[in-house]
Amino acid sequence: MDYQSTRSKIKTDPVNAVLQGLSPDGGLFVDPAIDSISFDWRSCLKKNTQDMAVMILSTLLPDFKDMESLVKQAYSGKFESEDLTPVVKVGNYHILELFRGPTSAFKDVALSMLPRLVTAARTQTGMKKEITILTATSGDTGKAALEGFKDVPGTRIIVFFPDSGVSLVQQMQMTTQEGANVCVCAVKGNFDDCQRGVKQAFSELRETLKDRPYTLSSANSINIGRLAPQVVYYFAAYRDMIADGTIKEGDRVDYCVPTGNFGDILAGFYAKLMGLPVGKLICASNANNVLTDFINTGKYDRKRPFYKTDSPSMDILVSSNLERLLFLACGKDESKVASWMNSLNETGEFTVDEKTLSYIRDSFEAGFCDQKETEEAISKCWNENHYLCDPHTAVAYSVADKRKNSNPVVVLSTASPYKFPQAVLRALGEKEEGNGFEQMKRLNKISGVRIPENLRTLEGKTIRFKESIDSDKIVPYVLSKLN
């Protein structure tokens, strides 16, 4: 089986696609035959979540050996429960809780699995070099990546975060990280400064590291090894809704997804292509509603104000994984995708043709909500159902609630409310004062909802990483760690 770039005829096998991350032409790797893939989805629904993961990942990444043990290493004992992603019935909706992993972020689902795939790919290709993961983070990704790569043989991870850009809790999560192969460093500046420095490291160090025993890689969501594990929970939620009597096998279910980089919702589309009876995938955005406009009109236009919202992981104007959908939607015409991406780069916009748009609208719908509606959703969900949701989940809840629903709807929940206690307190009309830990405790007192263990015990942990550097020192910093 071959993966292909979305922008040219470059091909590679899944193992090398995982090792490379991005295609050399700047495109993303896709399986061009995913829409005719043969997959026994009915028997998949009979399995527990980890066995589902084995079956789904073996189908999407068939040349990986012993997927069963990779899945076990990734997930066993790491999540709050062995079914990884529980579904909770809340009012008219089913909320799919994706935040029950080691860092209380939905990114744990993928970033627990990716390191296992990377090391397996390294072994299978006979690569001798150590893989060094460089990550710039605005919050959640850094911690989830650190936890995923912690003490994974043959890898090392260096995370850079902006000293003025992450919350106290997020900073503590990273600077107290355990593990012998991890390194965390603050950068003076904002997230863009961090990201620029990391990109510079990738381009400048390629030559330098050629003859040294290290190779650089990234953990971001353009890697197919991060996308594939996310297909699993769409099946798991469907299975659980059969079990609780909401649906019968074959009934259609809609999924409403709080969207940023379009990875989460694209995994839902892959589930649909693999046979799962998905009705509509509802793309929920916050005030940064570029995807809402695109799905409703066919014109993607990033030339618009950028809003900093209470759902920061969705504050994105260019959603990279959309490119994978575009490739399938336009009839797998890589030159078309390349020209759209080129236009986006040069003019800040592109417009797809009628046929491409209608392919997308067959499976996708889109909506957005503003700050006030997000807060209303948090308080409504609490007052009516006694369920506490975080601001990202609230965006999806609000979008689902504004819609005429005919099928049962699953709302994907991407973070624990305790990761954003200030916004949740404000939405509930409570006092916001104090630091993140004080806010967590107040929220716990008011709601009685348990604080996840990893966040509850964070305050007393020893800070291991205290370095802070200028953003133009990222390259020498990385080099100094590779000795």
Ligand X SMILES: *Cc1c(COP(=O)(O)O)cnc(C)c1O
Q: Footprint of ligand X on this chain (CB under 6 A)?
A: 105-107, 140, 221, 258-264, 313-314, 392, 414-415
Burial 144-167 (b: 16+ CB within 10 A, else e): bbbbbbbebebbbbbbbbbbebbb
Q: For residues 364 and 328, is the Cβ–Cβ distance under 8 A?
A: no
How many Cα atoms within 13 Å fall on the side-chain side of residue 279? 15
Reduced DSSP (H G I as helix, E B as strand, rest coil) percent helix, strand, coil of the chain, to 5 = 45, 15, 35
Distance CA 230, CA 235 (A): 10
Distance CA 8, CA 337 (A): 9
Distance CA 120, CA 97 (A): 28
- What's phi and psi for 62, nearest 5 deg? -65, -20
Q: Is 445 a known active-site residue?
A: no
Is residue 53 helix, strand or coil? helix
Give the residue among 152, 160, 161, 164 at the shortest CA–CA distance from 114.
152
Q: Which of 78, 107, 128, 355 is catalytic?
A: 107
Distance CA 136, CA 197 (A): 9
Q: Which residues pair with 183 in a beta bridge?
A: 158
Distance CA 168, CA 440 (A): 12
- What's phi and psi for 12, nearest 5 deg? -160, 165
Q: For residues 252 and 278, is the Cβ–Cβ distance under 8 A?
A: yes
Number of other CB atoms surrounding residue 102 within 10 Å: 21
Nearest residue (CB) to ligand X, 106 versus 191: 106
CA-CA distances (angstroms) from residue 452 to 49, 79, 383, 391, 441?
21, 11, 22, 17, 12
Q: Residue 385 corresponds to which tokens in the numbers above?
A: 């159902």
For residue 159, the 8-state DSSP code is E
Q: Where are the alpha helices (DSSP H) in 155-190?
A: 168-175
Instruction: Find where tokens 């959640």 sit.
Output: 140
Number of other CB atoms surrounding residue 358 within 10 Å: 12
Minimum distance between the CB of residue 300 and ligand X, rounded to whole angstroms? 15
Q: For the sheet containing 214-217, what is the strand order?
A: 214-217, 130-136, 155-162, 182-188, 468-470
Distance CA 435, CA 125 (A): 48
Minimum distance between the CB of residue 114 and ligand X, rounded to whole angstroms? 13
**What positions carry a catalytic annotation?**
107
